Structure 1
Amino acid sequence: MLINADFSQRVSLLPEQQQWIASPQSGVERIMLDRIGAEKARATSLVRYAPHSHFPRHYHPGGEEILVLSGTFSADDTDYPAGWYLRNPPKSGHQPYSDEGAIIFVKLRQMRADEQRHVTIDTNDKSSWQVKDNREICPLFTDSSEQVMLQRLKANEPLFTAPISGGAEILVLEGELIEEHQVYKRRSWLRLPIDVAPLIKAGEQGATVYLKINHLSAIIGAEVAGV
């Protein structure tokens, strides 16, 4: 299965374009944002757990990245309410479930093979945030191949001030982004290819976004090399 699998192309999905599809596990649905592979895939998705739904214990050979968007996501008897960021490295495993129901943003099989750190960050905690270049940023993860963060933009503030050399991925968490006549409301998802300089700014109420940058160079390089 290939969904938005050409990483040299720009792609965006507005909330009204997103469709929930049942997963093989009862009570769990997903919106496939990009995907390479069948059930065991390199994938970016929104996943919705109905109350009292679960997955059996399983392992992630290529790692798993999660941002809890609503409700409470749980794994191995630990609860993660909305706002928690989790990063489970390659070869780790867990048994996920939700008693009250939850929606999470999930990226599978997208980590370096040598990544070893487990990361858990409560982005609701003020101490998780810092001010850099007059912008509020919540750093989530950084290595040589990617940077992951949340950013809070003021009204009409541009998201980027220079070309994105290694590409970018954006999920609108609060407020809205505007690009010319296009409005990206809450839960809009965008993936921008390398070396573009989009004129995207926050709306009148500002915006909070999940942002991953510089990760597409390695993917496109591997495709060119035939890996």
Structure 2
Amino acid sequence: MNINSDFSQKVVLNTSDLDWDSSPVPGVERKYLDRIGDELARASSIVKYSPESSFTEHIHVGGEEIFVLEGTFSDEGGDYPSGTYIRNPPSSKHTPYSQEGCVLFVKLRQFNVQDTSTVKINTATTAWHPGLVPGLSVMPLHEFDGVGTALVHWAPNTMFNPHVHPGGEEILVLKGVFHDEHGSYPTGTWIRSPRYSKHAPFTKSEGALIYVKTGHLHNPL
């Protein structure tokens, strides 16, 4: 199964408009954003756990990256409320579940093999840092070998400088509306911009909170 598998192309999806697909386990559903492979795939997805659902124990062959969007996600290591960022490195394993139900942003099999750190960050209690322009605040989540992941908070009516992303850029809009010269992206929009893409982003009166990943979009095909 190949979905949005040409990483030289820009993709913009409003995840609210996508249908849920069943997983092999009852109570767990997925919205596919990009995917290369069948059940064992290099993939980016929105994943929903119904209340009192669980997934079978599995090994993360190429690592697993999670951002909890709604509810509380759990495994034998603990409970992770909305806003938690998790990295499970290659060869790690767990048996995830959710008592109350949850919605996750999940990226599978996308780690550098040398990136072996486990990361668990509750962004609700983590400090913000000033951004490069007034109105911008940044919360770094992870960086390894030129690939960076962060939350970026945009105050209303903030403008950023035009810039290029040599390694590409991936954005999930968590709150508000994000804008650039190419369009407007409300909450729930996923944007994947290829290597050497450029834009001049800004916000209007709503402001925005976005999840951003850069430097990782070499074409895997």
TM-score by length of 1: 0.91
> Could you tell me which residue of structure 2 aligns to residue 156 of structure 1?
157
C-alpha spacing 1:160/1:146, structure 2 compared with 1 (3 Å): farther
What is residue 197 of structure 2 aligned with on the other side? 196
SS at match of 1:8: coil
- The amino acid across from 1:48 in the alignment is K
Displacement after TM superposition at 1:205 (Å): 1.4
The answer for the alignment partner of 1:171 in structure 2 is 172
In structure 1, the partner of 2:69 is 69
CA apart distance, 1:159: 5.3
The Cα offsets for residues 132-175 of structure 1, whole Å up to 9 and x where unpaired, read as 32421111100113000000012232456311111000000010
Deviations 1:19-47 (A, max 9, x none): 11111110001100000000000000000
* Structure (1 or 2) with the greater helix fraction: 1
Q: Which amino acid aligns with 2:131?
A: K
Q: Is the 8 A contact 1:85 1:121 kept in 2?
A: yes
Query: Structure 1 residues 61 and 190 mapped into 2: Cα distance closer, same or farther (>3 Å)?
Result: same
Residue 129 (structure 2) aligns with: 130
Structure 1 residues 16, 48: closer, same or farther in 2, change over 3 A?
closer
Q: Would you say how many aligned residue pairs link Structure 1 and Structure 2? A: 219
State the partner residue of 1:31: 31
Q: Which amino acid aligns with 1:84?
A: T
Partner letter of residue 129 of structure 2?
Q
Secondary structure of 2:203's counterpart equals strand
1:78 Cα deviation after fit: 0.8
Distance (Å, rounded) in 1 between the aligned partners of 2:155 and 2:51: 35
Once residues 33 and 62 of structure 1 are traced to their aligned partners in structure 2, the CA distance between those partners, rounded to angstroms, is 18
In the aligned structure 2, how far is the partner of 1:108 from the partner of 1:63?
Answer: 6
1:103 alignment counterpart? 103
- Counterpart of 1:206? 207
Structure 2 distance, partners of 1:2, 1:100, is: 32
Amino acid at match of 1:168: E
Distance in 1 between residues matched to 2:91 and 2:15, nearest whole Å: 32
**TM-score, structure 2 as length reference:** 0.94
Fraction of identical pairs, as percent = 43
In structure 2, relative to structure 1, the CA distance for the partners of 1:61 and 1:161 (3 Å cut) is same
Q: CA RMSD in A?
A: 1.6
Query: More displaced, 72-81 or 12-21?
Result: 12-21
Aligned-partner SS, 1:124:
helix
4+ residue runs of structure 1 moved beyond 6 angstroms?
none
Whether contact under 8 Å (2:162, 2:201) holds in the other structure is no
Give the Å deviation of 1:18.
1.5
Q: Give 1:143's aligned residue.
A: 144
SS of aligned partner of 2:124: coil
